[in-house]
Amino acid sequence: MTKKGIMIIGHGSRYEYNKNTLELQADRLTAAGFENVYIGFNETSHPFIEETLTKMVDDGIEEITAIPFFIASGLHITRDIPPKLRLKADEKDATVDVDGKKIIMHFGTPFGEDPLLAELLHENIQGLDSKKGKTGIMVIGHGSRLPYNKDIIILNSERLSKMGHNDVYYAFNEFNEPKIETVLDEMVGKGLDEIIVLPLFISLGDHLKNDVPEKINLRDGVFDGEFDHDGRKITVKYSLPIGRDPRLTDLLAKKIRAYEG
């Protein structure tokens, strides 16, 4: 019988949040009965994808399901990760050579299109909305030179609007327009009293800790604050990223099981 294994792939970060999130999700999969669950990172964090691949093959794994724990596709998914899995750029399922051994490789897709993400954002809004005054929502994405991240952020923003939320905006930290600062100014100009900022990110990291707070008039480490604009107080509430939610474990499990049929 073919020995199968699972690799959950993360972005990697100089902070521990991304690694801790992947370790948590891998532990949950193991507790749910999945065997041979490993993690690997595209950059910065160890083990790197290549290190995990070698470890899995050394452990006798003959078939690997590699699932990117990413919100959206982009250069990492399309350009960087496939060769690290010994895949060609456009391959999703192939037999690859790893240290002279033939391994069946499956490369999954990010999960940003799943309706669950809008549900998670919706719940965050409900938990943060004081319902005092006029509230607006800003969904923020990382941004990418490719269109995928922007498409996913727009999709989830539109889903929130269809759920009945008013004044839903989207913005990006880098690469794409509109920028966070531009959207904040627009929302303030519309007379909103409370702005809920929802990062559609996997985990805290350099961008969410160091870039975004300043752009939304918050200090590092502060998730709820006020600033003055033309004599009125505007409240900003900054949500945590979504990657630790246990329902994402279920989503990972669904993606893995799709390869077992």
C-alpha to C-alpha distance for 140 and 150, rounded to whole angstroms: 10
Structure tokens, 92: 């999703």
Q: Torsions phi, psi of 106, nearest 5?
A: -120, 130
Q: Torsions phi, psi of 238, nearest 5?
A: -115, 115
Structure tokens, 251: 């989503």
Q: Residue-wise over 63-82: b if at least 16 C-beta within 10 A, else e?
A: bbbbbbbbbbbbebbeeebb
Specify whether the CB–CB gap between 116 and 248 falls below 8 A.
yes
DSSP secondary structure letter of residue 52 = H
C-alpha to C-alpha distance for 62 and 56, rounded to whole angstroms: 8
C-alpha to C-alpha distance for 163 and 114, rounded to whole angstroms: 15
Cβ atoms < 10 Å from Cβ of 104: 16
Specify whether the CB–CB gap between 172 and 179 falls below 8 A.
yes
Query: What does the angle CA 255 – CA 257 – CA 258 come to, to the nearest 5 degrees?
Result: 65
Helix (H) or strand (E) holding 75: helix 75-75
Annotation marks residue 11 as catalytic: yes
Q: Which residues form the catalytic set? A: 11
